[in-house]
Amino acid sequence: MCSGSRSRSAASASRQPGRAVRYVPVSAEGYGAALVRDHGLPDELGAFLAELFATLLDGRNARLTDDVRRVLGRAPGDFADYARRAARSGAWAG
């Protein structure tokens, strides 16, 4: 998912009643540091997770596949539709 997709997903979720969601990009290094600083993870684990997510999000996985259809037996759905259904069902109610 590219950062534009993350921004659009946050905007879709934010359009639902009672949801204020925005996408804030964070570097892998910043993410790892926050895990250590804010959540008490050991330095080595924070560094490992930062590297892992940097690798996962470096673009090598940015291609469409038929994985959803093969695994779930149905076509993939639109995130905006999911966000509307989740909001209606109360899934995000505090």
- Residue 80: pLDDT above 60? yes
- pLDDT attached to residue 94: 66
Amino acid at 50: A
Half-sphere exposure of 19 (CA within 13 A, CB side): 21
Q: Quick one: which of 47, 53, 61 has its CA closest to 5?
A: 61
Q: Tokens at residue 87, please?
A: 């909001």
| pTM of the predicted protein model | 0.57
CA dist 77 and 83 (Å) reads 11
- pLDDT attached to residue 7: 77
Give pLDDT tens digits for 3-50: 457 777 777 777 777 777 788 889 999 999 999 999 999 999 999 999
Half-sphere exposure of 69 (CA within 13 A, CB side): 4
Higher pLDDT, 6 or 89: 89
